[in-house]
Structure 1
Amino acid sequence: MSFTLATWNINSVRLREGLVARLMREEAPDVLCLQECKSPVESIPFESFRALGYEHMVARGQKGYNGVAIFSKIPMEEAGAGDYANLGHARHVAGRLANGVTVHNFYVPAGGDVPDREVNEKFGQKLDYLTHMRDEFAAKAPERAILVGDLNIAPREDDVWSHKQLLKIVSHTPIEVEHLDAVMKAGNWVDVTRQDIPEGLLYSWWSYRAKDWSAADKGRRLDHIWATADIAGAASGSRILRDVRGWEQPSDHAPVFATFDL
């Protein structure tokens, strides 16, 4: 069974319903994971997406903040949701596909502006969230699983426009990278995107603050697709749809794709 999966921080699924539908029509991933839906589950425009062939949805939502959803053309059942770091936020949901693969969709806290938990509570929450993820995966090693989402960390030097200038900027600090690496090792995860595209600058997010985001190209790779080692070798075709960042009234993130032949 071959299927294509995409992950995208949509920054309001209701505001950008048309963009989601466009991606579904033009790219037609079999599974689409969205983060920062900013909507209660009952207000997600599921019927619009169902009409495009996405008959299955699992989601967690809250009004105006956070929120994660998985839409699938493949039969899918809910496989749980975790309240990591006990924040009470809608930041994780999992779905199990008909082929037995579990898809985890995460929206890791951004962490605020100051990379110091003593003066910035949000940064501490981010580190605690990642630690909880690590502990969960260490306690029960996942198998035949895919982890996607806006993890809000660009781990490699070539995942940011300037490694030196961003070392003290939240999303690329050494302590965040260390925490993300610990999550990856605990779950025996493989970074599928970098498995397919091992070298070169690669971004999935560009700030709204840049007047011409494409020309400035000060991006970061915050959005990820991982797979457990037992199925990572079945992944191929990874790509980031940079052009989507230039659509009308876009999210500041671009969707990330990978194909799995299982």
Structure 2
Amino acid sequence: MRIVTWNINSLRLRMPLLARLCQDTSPDIVCLQETKVPDSLFPLDAVRALGFGHIVFRGMKGYNGVAILSRQPVTVLEDTPDWCQRGDCRHIAVRHGTGADAIDVHDFYVPAGGDIPDPEENPKFAHKLAFVEEAREWFSGRDMRRTVLVGDLNIAPLEQDVWSHRQLLKIVSHTPAETERLLAWQQTGFVDAMRHFVPATEKLYTWWSYRNRDWSRSNRGRRLDHVWITPDLQPALRDMQVLRAARDWDKPSDHVPVMIDLDA
């Protein structure tokens, strides 16, 4: 099974890039974030033309939005919360397959949190912290097996997940308040599948700012996109790739896709 996760930063704008991604990688499941399209305008026909007969999505105009595209049947998991009671389309989950071989897939888009890393001064940052804490609490109460959690979690938790740990400690996405909460969420029953392949001592990024024109040369990246799995799936891990070349595609997202292969 090949799963790709990608913050596409507007699905309708970047449909040609999604087509290129699918042609290049032949994924079984694609999880998208920041689709930025209300459900009534979701490009179902164009996505089906890429070979995905099973599509679930939750979107709104101009902001947020998540979608899971699958070549095989999936069942929507209906027991997920309305995070922070905002109805802002940041999570969708499905069950792929049936019986003992089924795999649950969770697709998340965590709030970015604004620019000021102080929950008293910045309501967006307060929302981000509350969202991650609520997710940690919800998953800690679940008996999980054969589960994959992917998405733009908007936090780079480890020192080598950013270009400069020292300089970014007070920058939203790498502050201790965020990284400690994200790691606590991960510890509710997940393994960091990306770091299974790339040791925590090595740099690993999935996002490069639009503000830096020569993004590749400066390489001031952050790992904001993640793939977590439950430990029972760890023996099934076969490969992981950060598709860095996608950052140079025509009109790219500032995030690049992450691909994981499972013998499952």
TM-score relative to the length of structure 2:
0.96
Check whether the contact 1:58–1:77 (CA below 8 A) recurs between aligned residues.
no
User: C-alpha deviations, 1:171-230, integer Å up to 9, x for none?
Assistant: 0011101100111112x1000000111141110000000011111110000000000111
User: C-alpha deviations, 1:56-93, integer Å up to 9, x for none?
Assistant: 11111001110000001122121134321222210000
CA distance in 1, matches of 2:46, 2:163: 37
User: Which amino acid is the alignment partner of residue 232 of structure 2?
Assistant: D
Secondary structure of 1:249's counterpart equals coil
User: Which amino acid is the alignment partner of residue 195 of structure 1?
Assistant: H
Q: What pairs up with 1:106-255 in 2 under 5 angstroms? A: 106-186=108-188, 188-198=189-199, 199-255=201-257
From 250, 256, 262, the equivalent of 1:260 is 262
Secondary structure of 1:233's counterpart equals helix
Q: How far off is 1:236 after superposition? A: 2.3
Which residue number corresponds to residue 26 of structure 2? 28
Gaps of 5+ in 1: none
CA distance in 2, matches of 1:209, 1:146: 32
CA distance in 2, matches of 1:44, 1:82: 23
CA distance in 2, matches of 1:157, 1:222: 13
Q: How far off is 1:144 after superposition? A: 1.1
Is residue 17 of structure 1 aligned with residue 19 of structure 2? Answer: no
Q: State percent identity of aligned pairs.
A: 51
CA distance in 1, matches of 2:235, 2:126: 35
Gaps of 5+ in 2: none
User: C-alpha deviations, 1:102-133, integer Å up to 9, x for none?
Assistant: 10000000000011000000000000000110
CA distance in 2, matches of 1:21, 1:120: 38
CA distance in 1, matches of 2:190, 2:45: 34
Q: How far off is 1:233 after superposition? A: 2.3
Displaced runs of 4+ in structure 1, greater than 4 A? none
Secondary structure of 1:209's counterpart equals coil
CA distance in 1, matches of 2:116, 2:144: 33
User: Which amino acid is the alignment partner of residue 93 of structure 2?
Assistant: A
Check whether the contact 1:58–1:71 (CA below 8 A) recurs between aligned residues.
yes
Superposition RMSD in Å: 1.0
Check whether the contact 1:196–1:236 (CA below 8 A) recurs between aligned residues.
no
